[in-house]
Structure 1
Amino acid sequence: MVMKEEMNQNILVTKNLSIGYKQSKKEVLCLLSDINLTIRRGEMVCLLGPNGAGKSTLMRTIAGIQAPLAGRTLVEDIPIRDRNFKEIAQLLSIVLTERINVGNLTVYHIVSLGRHPYTSWMGKLSDADNEKIKWALEQVGLLHYANHFINQLSDGERQRVMIAKALAQDTPLIMLDEPTAHLDLPNRVEIMRLLHRLARETNKAILLSTHELDLALQAADLIWLMARNQPVKVGAPEDLVLNGSIEDTFQNKSFNFDRKTGNFIMNYQKKQMIQLLGNDVMGFWTQRALSREGYQVTCEKAGDCCVQLLEDCMEWEVHRNGEVTRCKSIQSLLSHLKESFQL
């Protein structure tokens, strides 16, 4: 009984999937084989990986847009490749990266297109269809914009319109390709928070490919981590950080991944050693600024320069060669150090 309930929770399942391209009748380029992945109801999964790892190919293959080299994809136990376009459109909806350029259509009209798989050939909307459209707009906070033209909306609002269209389509699986690609930071955060909430509240499965590693680590229930010629690594974001998978996948000479903060830190050419005394927020940002300028920062006594944080008055005290200098900002601190070390 438990096994049956667990199976019913699976929205998406890939079985021994191989992805790639048939370059000719005899030549096949296989990017990855034996892919076995699962997404359950109410889960938000982020697909991460460097460029060229095969993320877009995997997304297209799962969606049935591209034929697999082997294996199959099932949505609610239904093989995608065995269904026609209308049947697939009732199983999964897709939100693409491209900007919307249909200025003569209203928000309501665009969201109503999500009901197309359920209407007759005339496309007439029923009362139930209209209720579903209004519900979708409410979910993304845009019901009051229903009669606005799409070109009157910001990029973030337009992306929420397309998410509403996917919700109106009422599929168990929603797939998004780089949904935050054209957005500023506040809107990127809002879109990721929205998708996380929708997965929970609608009990749908949400799969999105993204380069927003920092946001994915905060918002995703699971991460699918892709690297060239390596099996897909699956796990909670925190597990993939702690076991070094994130670090290994995005390894680069130009930066390091900091497991403590979940951020990438640029590598700078190192020069003088500086002892930094102090911690907390002020210490964190001071260390970051000093590292950016190429100083080797340590809490131990090293070299002939020490920076003491005066947290009560938000000032920096520089001790060097028996002299003490106070700086009132990080900018003035960096200027003083530059002049001091050039003497």
Structure 2
Amino acid sequence: METAPSHSLESYAPRAGLSIPLVTVLDNEGRIIEAEQRALVRFAVQDGAGADILFAAGTTGEWDRMDNPRRQEVSRIVLEECRRCASAQRPVEVWFGITAHTRRETVENLVFALEIGADAAVIAPLSVRDVENPVDLVTRELGEVFERAGRAIPVFLYDNSEIHAPGQALHLHTRDVKRMSQVDYIRGIKVTANKSVLGNYTRAASHFRLAHEFAVYAGNPLLIFDLFAPAAGLVRRARHYWNRYLTQGSLPYGIVAGPANPMPREWQRAWQICRARDAALMEHYRSVLEGFRDACRFARAGTSYQPAIACLKAALVELGVIASDAVARGTPSLDEAERREFARRFAALRERSALSLEPGWVSRTDLPAARGIVTQQHA
């Protein structure tokens, strides 16, 4: 059944803040576990203290390891549950990842997003294997979908060198981003890259001269602790001016934080205090959130191994939010010893968080909207 999004394109302003790219909860056969996916949505929302945006079927959601029916299925589940549990006083947007391996399926996903009322769509043009001209895909083929429907939703670009298709460039050229941004429905870009690459986009976007806002979101969320660092002290002052040079004074509109799956409150508060440039609190949150990154690092055959998605799912199991930590075929996984070690590290991090972070900003599993999670799974 078609549901209109909560805005029109004419009045739309990109949502600032915390976007959580949700993991997709799978069983050992690769099927989506709907009840647990819904539980994850409720947990991520945290009764209004978590996500500003939920991003379904993104890279953290293993879009590239699933067939198209499952991409659409998880997007539908996330949208339905978010509409059900989010507060009217603090609505949460739902963005669909429409990227698929073929242009046909990518276009089908945009049609689906439009039909069921997604707030926005996200596309990684360089990840579609049979596309020679990413600009044409975005400006012409997506536009034709909206023309046929007689209405449009915002579309955000996604740049991530780790998922580019064979033969494609590692990153979108800023000149191509500028061309795509001229289209009314293109409202921003998510950039998963280092500070220098992110700065290329923020500098370029500051000169686009558009009739609508064009938002840049940082897909490497820990960068905010550097980008928003106050100019106090010699080292911080030098870092502050270097960051201003890299970004042309334009800071990200928000963050897309995969690690927020098990830590939505912590990341929401980190965003708030970084925006406020509270140096003391920034150090507390940085320490904890970098601690989670470090907990996901292992060594195999003498080389670093970081199975990020497997660790996110394992953390959610340890919290009792979901019961299955299965990953899709081809996604890096944890062996039994690594899984036990991760559980130990995560438990220690939760204890440290409770002691070092502000009261009320450690993610909770005992909220009314989430209270059925553990009891349903262990009944």
TM-score, length-scaled by structure 1 = 0.37
- The two structures have a TM-score, normalised by structure 2, of 0.35
Between structure 1 and structure 2, the one with the greater Rg is: 1
Structure number with the higher helix fraction is 2
- Give the structure, 1 or 2, with the largest relative contact order (CA under 8 Å, sep 6 or more): 2
**More strand as a share of residues:** 1
